[in-house]
Structure 1
Amino acid sequence: MNINIGIKETDRQAIVQGLSVLLANTYTLYLKTHNYHWNVTGPMFNTLHLMFEQQYTELATAVDEIAERIRALGEFAPGSYSAYAALTSIPEDSSIPCAEDMIRNLVEAQETIARQAREVIAIASEASDEPSADLLTQRMQAHEKTAWMLRSLIA
């Protein structure tokens, strides 16, 4: 069936594209954070191990919410490693970094997603797509807060 929810086709496609990148970035950050949870070492082990678990759990929920919004807009959500690799702007690690570099890498990734969400929210707002704008606002808040908490560990 055709989609007729009050959003122009070109706007809907632009929002879906932005949300697809957000999904890929969020999933990539989920994997990175989970990897760090498993492999962190050093004096901050317990603190970081628990913090990373909270973060990847929140990201897992976010992945589902973003994908479901893409579906509500009438498109299929990307869901493969190759699709995510083509869309993401968050780099993979080639090795296991030290704890402090893990924190720095996660700050950078969190800020990347916040910036990307801010770009898409402009498109969603212009198209009067309040549900997408609300989702993007929530994601910006979560990523900016997490980046702040991580930055605070390495003053």
Structure 2
Amino acid sequence: MYSSSLEDYRIRVLEFSAGGIVYFEQAKGTLGLSIHQIGKEFNSNAVGILLPKTVLSGSKKLAHLPLTLFIDALPSWLISNTELFIGGIFQVNNVMQIRWGTSTRKGDHNIQQGLLQSILGASGFGVGYATGPTLIHYSTFIYGTGAVIQGLEIGIRL
């Protein structure tokens, strides 16, 4: 459930996502398929069905580096731009990880105000710490405009 309001405009969304992953143990990789935004939107003007988004995913643990690469594709059936997201997790030691990611949204985030903003726009960086069932992950995402989102995840594996 998502709810937001701005002055007289109000929106509520009831949605869920579903997906699955196939693991390839010998190849140390995965393939996944998920469908997001299955649901309804209720706003101040109308009620409508959300357009679901399909995400195709894959990952591969590299044999000679402590790195797992990830790729997500959001194929666009209605418009010509398929969005791609790539990233990786470097396993520094048994408990520390360095994470990074970027996407084809770099072009949309590029405001042509500097080389560094163009390179870092639509990119994310993070550090993870995992021991036993506990995971702590801190990350930052940089928009091309210079805006930054920071996040902290604390998780427990059951």
In the superposition, the TM-score normalised over structure 2's length comes to 0.21
Q: Which has the higher helix share?
A: 1
Specify which structure has the bigger relative contact order, considering alpha-carbon pairs within 8 angstroms and separated by 6 or more residues. 1
Q: Which has the larger radius of gyration?
A: 2
Q: Which has the higher strand share?
A: 2
In the superposition, the TM-score normalised over structure 1's length comes to 0.22
